[in-house]
Amino acid sequence: MYKIYHFKSLTSTQDKARELAKKGVDNAIILADMQTKGRGRFQRKWHSDKDGLWMSILLKPKNIQNIQYLTFAAAVSVVKSIKKITKINTNIKWPNDVHHKGKKLCGILTENVFGKENYVIVGIGLNVNQNKFPSDIRNIATSIKIINNKKISIKDLANNITDEFLKTYENHYNKNQLNNITKEWKKYCDTIGKKISVVTKNGILRGKAMGVDENCSLLLKLDNGKIIKVIEGDIKVRY
């Protein structure tokens, strides 16, 4: 059973999930109508005024070795739910974006809480009913409302995404059938096979995305033919 916590405003649903984990709560879904300090990877700002879906799923998996697969599973759940509810086709950009024609609709942030017990928090931020965005992301972000000019129920989307995600979590992740998660993810990922640039801490790498390995790292074939693994970073793809 999963308990749902819904707040009008939080700093971040990830923070609330962490607070609940410290109290021993697990199997919880935390939602906020708005976040005052929403965050992305590497402590980047995540814009989360009202009209979006801001949610964290707090889990206590037996296996915390493969949590990158939970990011993949979350992205697939988002793509499928958007399709089901709005008929809009979206794609996944490695490792954690759901986009529509190159514009970012959703970002996923998977974090660990280590302690006497280990928890995982899967944060999902999805732009739903916004009509516009702050200037720093205006050219790179989009919302479902901007795409199809219709207001959508954030609650329906949240329910759908959690159902999809928890099905995959219980039937594949917890049963260690990780290949099934990758197989599904690859159906929607449009990074593989493309010429890309990867912005890493150590500079920009250019090459062709060949696939992902068993740790969900990206396999990049450099222009000199060498294949390297990219564990984290931001990629640029031309659509």
Instruction: Supply the minimum distance, in Å, between the C-beta of residue 154 and ligand BT5.
Output: 12
Nearer to ligand BT5, 101 or 175 (CB): 101
Nearer to ligand BT5, 33 or 179 (CB): 33
Distance CA 110, CA 236 (A): 21
Instruction: Supply the minimum distance, in Å, between the C-beta of residue 217 and ligand BT5.
Output: 16
Contacting residues toward ligand BT5, per CB under 6 A: 12-14, 35, 38-42, 44-48, 54-56, 96, 104, 107-109, 123-125, 127, 137, 141
Nearer to ligand BT5, 56 or 81 (CB): 56
By CB neighbour count within 10 A (0-12 exposed, 13-18 middle, 19+ buried), where does 62 fall? exposed
Nearer to ligand BT5, 26 or 221 (CB): 26
Instruction: Supply the minimum distance, in Å, between the C-beta of residue 192 and ligand BT5.
Output: 18
Instruction: Supply the minimum distance, in Å, between the C-beta of residue 227 and ligand BT5.
Output: 24
Instruction: Supply the minimum distance, in Å, between the C-beta of residue 105 and ligand BT5.
Output: 7
Nearer to ligand BT5, 6 or 175 (CB): 6
